[in-house]
């Protein structure tokens, strides 16, 4: 039976982090400041979800059902008074039900999904790792986040591309529902080669 978490706070964004990924965030809304403060008393910090721009906020359909369980890796107080945090993706989940608290913070009952197992890149897929390595090396902020990662793991490579490329969120959701990275790697090979 899949593991579940009750009343996991949700942080919906257009940007997203997936398992093995890292993302710096600026927190300023009161409900999310509370979420971060309370995360230190929970085993799991919170969940990040992709925003469905055609969804209805009143019905909570503006949040796509697959999100990522995260932990806070680092935090700092920024010069503009905001809170800066760096989050790390741990595991994907599927939202079962969403409640809205008095301040507008959404909390959900979620079912955890298995992470993609490590996968060897085929000869045809190898360029995905090479281009990703070049992309990360050419951006200092990314280089800091991803120092010393394993570019031989096709699952890790696919997840980083899914985070970085402007792919329709519905497409990302469909790929993340698959039990292996194979479909995502095939999709990425076709997308990047074209």
Q: What are 109-164's pLDDT values in tens digits?
A: 999 999 999 999 999 999 999 999 999 999 888 888 887 678 999 999 999 999 99
Strand partners, 173: none
Q: What is the pLDDT of residues 38-77, one digit of tens each?
A: 887 777 689 999 999 888 888 888 999 999 999 998 888 8
167 phi and psi angles, rounded to 5 deg: -90, 140
Superfamily of 4-112 according to CATH: LON domain-like (2.30.130.40)
113 phi and psi angles, rounded to 5 deg: -105, 150
Work out the burial of residue 121: count CB atoms within 10 Å of its CB; fewer than 13 is exposed, 13-18 middle, 19 or more buried: buried
Q: What is the largest CA-CA distance in the chain?
A: 53
**What is the pLDDT, as a whole number, of residue 16?**
87
**Alpha-carbon gap, residue 144 to 24, rounded angstroms:** 11
Does 1 have pLDDT greater than 70? no
Q: Give just the sign of the alpha carbon dihedral 116, 117, 120, 122.
A: negative
| Domain extents in the chain | 4-112, 126-193
| Average per-residue pLDDT for the chain | 91
Which of 56, 66, 58, 54 shows the shortest CA–CA distance to 10?
66
pTM of the model: 0.91
Q: How far is CA 32 from CA 12, 43, 139, 163, in A?
A: 10, 17, 28, 22
């Amino acid at each position: 039976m899949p593991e579940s978490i009750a009343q996991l706070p949700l942080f919906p964004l257009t940007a997203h982090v997936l398992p093995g990924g890292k993302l710096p965030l600026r927190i300023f809304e009161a409900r999310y400041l509370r979420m971060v403060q309370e995360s230190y008393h929970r085993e799991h910090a919170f969940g990040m979800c992709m925003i469905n721009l055609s969804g209805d906020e009143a019905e909570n359909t503006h949040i796509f059902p697959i999100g990522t369980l995260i932990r806070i890796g680092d935090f700092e107080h920024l010069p503009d008074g905001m809170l800066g945090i760096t989050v790390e993706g741990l595991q994907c989940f599927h939202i079962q039900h969403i409640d809205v608290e008095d301040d507008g913070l959404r909390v959900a009952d979620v079912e955890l999904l298995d992470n993609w197992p490590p996968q060897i890149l085929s000869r045809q897929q190898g360029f995905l790792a090479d281009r990703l390595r070049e992309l990360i090396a050419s951006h200092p902020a990314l280089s800091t986040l991803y120092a010393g990662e394993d570019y031989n793991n096709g699952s890790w490579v696919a997840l980083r591309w899914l985070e970085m490329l402007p792919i329709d969120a519905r497409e990302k959701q469909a790929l993340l529902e698959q039990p292996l990275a194979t479909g995502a790697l095939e999709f990425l090979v076709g997308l990047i080669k074209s």
